Structure 1
Amino acid sequence: MGSLHISSLTARKHCCCSSRCCIVPAAVSLLLLVAALATSNAYFTLPDRHRLSLFPRPFFSSHTRRGERCHIFRGDWVPDPDAPYYTNATCKAIHEHYDCMRYGKPDLGFVRWRWQPDGCDLPRLDPWRFLDLMRGKSLAFVGDSLARNHKDSLICLLTRVQAAEPTPSWPSSKHTVYYYGQYNFTVSNFWAPYLVRHEQIDEDGPAHTGLWNLYLDEPDDVWAAHVAGFDYVVVSASSWFYRPSMLYEAGRLVGCHYCLLPNVTDLTLRYALRMATRAALRALSGADGRFRGTAMLRTVDPSQYEGGEWNKDGNCVRTRPYRRGEKRVQGIDMTVWAPQLEEFTAAKKAAAAEGGKVSMMLMDTTEAMILRADAHPSKFRGWTPEKHFTLNNDCVHWCLPGAIDTWNDMLLHMLSST
């Protein structure tokens, strides 16, 4: 980001008016200064809240750079020397899985990048603006540990507002709440790794990660029973669908994913994820009259193991982001990403058919995150292994602070446009 020295503007106070020299009046000088600052996009290092753009660009204009259309999900990663905006010392909400600073990740350069969309800029989340926007509102993150990862990032970014310390509570083991009393704003996180009702039927199973019954047409009541009370719901789940599962619809076994049982059709994880996503979005479409807010689907996070599989010495040891085009969504990631996009498109049409009582939005983070193999914890995280399941290197979750903070930059952009 270019710097601007004010002294260079104020040093020359004289100019030529017609054929003679004159002194520019103070008001005109001020106007020239404002114009120069605005066109230079100057930023100043000021404490706390005032460490913001003096003349911020329009947050949500779709044509912000010479007529180019702004697409916040397509772009590249560029250096951000001002990052990070919090640390594990300033934020106590970071789960041990994501606390790469605490567990000694040696190269912290992964925090000093920001997402640069095509055709516009995506400002870093302004916590004061976010809390003002969310005054009197409620926001829920629904899904697996990556949904929790997303929630932790938001809580940490909001810690810059020291007067807005949240009060945490745990209504159940699968439901966490952060309440910002000064703003009457609630952030909830629901543990629902499959989005739909599920139960474990074998702790080991064919892949040593357990075997599960999934009821693909029944949204998990852990979260679905509460949707009427929320203004915004962000749904995301994908990583657990890789585990073997028995698939049920209308109470009847219709197939499985990698169950390796005779006479049971393997419908693949693609089918399981598609139908679970469909059920979750249907619960948020407004068809049953419960939800009347804004629903977001955040797309799949690519796991980024290199040199082996997750349980066979695979790791993520890059120290810089990929450049655009160096790595693309393909293979198993594409297998999961494509049905999410298709189900979202169908759900958005269904919501519109219900009279537009619900707003459906897509947070398509996949292409941005496929470039950030440098920002995973690897072995630098805490981990309490599950029975029969030990993650040797973590190339699924995201370090905090880090690349995942961009999801909340995107979130503020999207919420402000509703």
Structure 2
Amino acid sequence: MNLQMFDLPAHQRRRKAPKVASLVALSIALSVATIICVYSPSLLYNPGNVPQAVPSSDSPRESIRRPEKDDEPEAANSPEIEPSEPPSSIKSDLIVAQTTLDRNNSERRSAPSPSPSQGDENEGRTRIPIQRSPEQTKRVSPVPNPAGGIDHSKLGDKESCDLFTGEWVPNPEAPYYTNSTCYGIYDHQNCMKYGRPDTNFLKWRWKPDGCELPIFDPHQFLEVVRGKSIAFVGDSLARNHMLSLMCLLSRVLYPLDVSTANDENRRWVYREYNFNVSMFWAPYLVRSERTDPNDITRPFNLYLDEFDDGWTTKVQAYDYIIISAGQWFFRPTNFYENRTLIGCLACKQDNVTQFTMNFSYERAFRTAFRAIISLANFKGVTILRTIAPSHFEGGVWDQGGDCVRTRPFNRNETVLADYNSELHKIQLKELRIAQEEGSKWGLRFRLFDVTQAMSLRPDGHPSKYGHWPTEKVTNDCEHWCLPGPIDAWNDFLQELIKREETKKSSYRYT
């Protein structure tokens, strides 16, 4: 370098210095470009050249009707509570996580978000499946065991403990709320209000074999779900579960009810955590209609191959969908496929094929899972909560049956009724099918198996303590007292969501 340059006037030095800097910058740029071309050709890969996957003719990925403007959730104009908009810090982490996966595995996804004005123009959209390594696939999906069920011990990293096989053990610290501290308990589940004399049924917790299931911690749970959303899809037991969650969270915070629809779909937001909870009423999971609009006891028409727009058009933005169904399938129903009557359950129609409830139960779950897989922009986790048995003894529900026990069964004291066992097997089979198909598109389906645990709790139902003695109401051995055994479902839920969020973090840094 010419040292005389520093003796020049300042205005001349400013003209000469950029020339040197330009040469240095050009040299660096050429060196970086050479390194990229030689060592990292994958960085020059053009994702636009990736051919789009074409589903086979028997693929369940039928495109769901995109919602028209009037179909949007009513609270969609409130950006601060919109489920699809997590806080910016979480969004940044998710972007980093996806970028890391794209770089390491050459994965490319094309799923542009449709605007409401597009209407049905998005029908026929296909996903580009994420290609995962065998190790990643093992981490994402539960593995079926040879018996045809789900091997609980194979759920993924740090999940060697089977949460769902175990027994109830004493817990003197329970309950963690009362019917006085939680205002949201429905009357027919408010056993203390209606004078249930015993309280021992409240003093138990679920103990898995070989490990501990942590008791629900409302502070920890709200931190884990900060910026997220949960949709409960199903019948009154799904609502029972959701209310239990809200009662447990009431120790810390009450939500704001932002529901606006005049139906049984409800929505709440915990603004301090930008956390949303919704309940979508779908007792049959598929499209259904009453044969008598004014009489709910009359048979329903079930369209077993059609999506229920009441929830399938509204869950795309949610982080977690908890789906369940059960007792409604025992009711008299007419079965339709391709808009044609193909059979019925407990009907009195000549020349109509009589089916068992297993027929509709299987097809309903298959259609519900197919609906979720068809959502082109859904990136959340679907959790199947298995059937929770009722405990009528001495007769069926409308013929004097009751549930008067005051302590749990030991595991060797009872056997799951045949019909409950069959329904449970159907759920496991349909979940396995959904996991297989969903994995092609990077979708996660998880098992939430409460069947064994709840089969041991004949003591946890309202029985006659869901109403005043003067009311002519049948005993309730299907729903669960609040507080009560169903609170353990949120011990499970907390652990399952923590596992999912831990997996996301591990993907983010590997």
Q: Secondary structure at the match of 1:361?
A: strand
Higher mean Cα deviation, 220-229 or 181-190? 220-229
Q: Given that residues 141 and 147 in structure 1 are in contact (C-alpha distance below 8 angstroms), is that contact kept between their aligned partners in structure 2?
A: yes
| Partner residue in 1 for 2:372 | 284
Aligned-partner Cα distance in 1 for 2:383–2:238: 12
1:245 aligns with 2:333: yes
Task: Return the alpha-carbon distance in structure 1 between the equivalents of residues 412 and 348 of structure 2.
Answer: 38
Matched, 1:321 2:408: yes
What's the counterpart of residue 404 of structure 1?
486
Partners of 1:165 and 1:291 lie apart in 2 by 28
1:76-111 per-residue CA deviation (whole Å, 9 max, x = no partner) reads: 000000000000111011111211111111111101
Distance 2:379 2:268 in 1: 22
Q: Do residues 336 (structure 1) and 417 (structure 2) align? A: no
Matched, 1:373 2:468: no
Alignment of 1:173-188 (within 5 A): 173-188=263-278
Shift of 1:331: 1.7
Partner of residue 302, structure 2: 214
Checking the alignment, whether the CA contact within 8 Å between 1:257 and 1:269 is kept in structure 2 is: yes
TM-score by length of 2: 0.65
| Partner Cα distance (1:102, 1:85) in 2 | 17
Using the TM superposition, give the Cα deviation of residue 330 of structure 1 relative to its aligned residue in structure 2, in angstroms: 2.5
Equivalence for 2:40: none
Aligned to 2:145: none
Change (3 A) 1:391 1:301: farther
Structure 2 stretches of 5 or more lacking a match?
1-152, 501-510
* More displaced 10-residue stretch of structure 1: 165-174 or 75-84: 165-174
- Matches of 2:341 and 2:412 in 1, distance apart? 42
Instruction: State the aligned residue count.
Output: 344
Counterpart of 1:97? 188
**Distance of 2:426 and 2:464 partners within structure 1:** 31
Cα-to-partner distance string for 1:191-220 (whole Å, 9 max, x where unaligned)? 111111111104799xx9320100111221
Check conservation: 1:311, 1:391, Cα contact below 8 A: no
Between the aligned partners of 1:373 and 1:181, the Cα distance in structure 2 is: 37
CA drift of 1:267 comes to: 1.7
Aligned to 2:137: none
Structural mapping, 1:4-403, within 5 Å: 69-161=160-252, 164-172=253-261, 173-202=263-292, 209-285=297-373, 287-354=374-441, 356=442, 358-382=443-467, 391-403=473-485
| Deviation for aligned residue 1:69 | 4.4
How far did residue 170 of structure 1 move? 2.2
AA at the equivalent of 1:138: S
Counterpart Cα distance in 2 of 1:288 and 1:371: 37
1:411 and 1:175 map into 2 onto residues whose CA distance is 21
The one-letter amino acid of 1:380's match is: Y
Q: How far has the Cα of 1:155 moved from its partner?
A: 0.2
The aligned residue for residue 416 of structure 1 is 498
What TM-score results when the alignment is normalised by the length of structure 1?
0.79
Judge conservation of contact 2:285–2:368 (CA < 8 Å) in 1.
yes
CA distance in 1, matches of 2:499, 2:448: 13
Structure 1 residue matching 2:394: 3-state secondary structure? coil
Counterparts of 2:177 and 2:251, CA distance in 1: 8
Q: Which amino acid aligns with 2:455?
A: I
Task: Provide runs of 4+ in structure 1 moved above 2 Å.
Answer: 202-205
SS in 2 for 1:284: helix
Tell me the distance in 2 between the aligned counterparts of 1:340 and 1:259: 25
With over 3 angstroms needed to count, the CA separation of the structure-2 counterparts of 1:210 and 1:203, relative to structure 1, is farther
Name the SS of the counterpart of 1:179 in structure 2: strand
Distance 1:203 1:303, change over 3 A: farther
Q: Which runs of 5+ in 1 are unaligned?
A: 1-61, 384-389
Distance 1:107 1:71 in 2: 32
Residues 197 and 216, structure 1, Cα contact 8 Å, conserved in 2: yes
1:169 Cα deviation after fit: 2.8
- Cα pair distance change 1:204/1:174, threshold 3 Å: closer
For 1:151, what is the secondary structure of its paired residue? helix
- Greater per-residue helix proportion: 2
Task: Report the RMSD for the aligned CA atoms in angstroms.
Answer: 2.3
**C-alpha separation in 1, matches of 2:188 and 2:378:** 32
**Distance in 2 between residues matched to 1:146 and 1:394, nearest whole Å:** 12
Structure with the greater alpha carbon radius of gyration: 2
Distance (Å, rounded) in 2 between the aligned partners of 1:332 and 1:167: 40
Identity score, percent? 48
Partner amino acid, structure 2, of 1:75: G
Kindly indicate whether the alpha-carbon contact (under 8 Å) linking 2:316 and 2:375 is maintained by their aligned counterparts in 1: no
What SS does structure 2 have at the residue aligned with 1:304? Answer: coil
